Amino acid sequence: MNQIARKTSGAACPLCGKPSQQKYHPFCSARCAHVDLYRWLRGIYSIPAETADDAADTSEKPRAGKDPSD
């Protein structure tokens, strides 16, 4: 196995599309890894979640066919 084959994992970097490097997996370089970290820290990436207020709002809705004033 040659040296290049050991350094690449065969997958593409999720930011730039270049072959990823094992040292920075899944990224191709430290630069792409830092760009990704920056995006997470700035809130550019986010994971949608339901807050406790959202859950309470859905449980307080009146049922179909019943008058909410009862």
Give yes or no for a contact between 12 and 20, defined as CB atoms under 8 angstroms apart: yes
Asked whether the whole model's pTM tops 0.75, one would answer no
Residue 17's pLDDT is 95
Structure tokens at 21: 């490097």
Q: Residue 26: which of 11, 45, 4 has the closest Cα?
A: 11
pLDDT digits (tens, 9 = 90+) for 5-48: 445 557 999 999 999 999 999 999 999 999 999 999 999 988 88
Please provide residue 24's backbone torsions phi and psi, each rounded to the nearest 5 degrees.
-115, 15
Residue 65's pLDDT is 61
Q: Which residues pair with 8 in a beta bridge?
A: 21
Distance CA 22, CA 34 (A): 15
Residue 5's pLDDT is 45
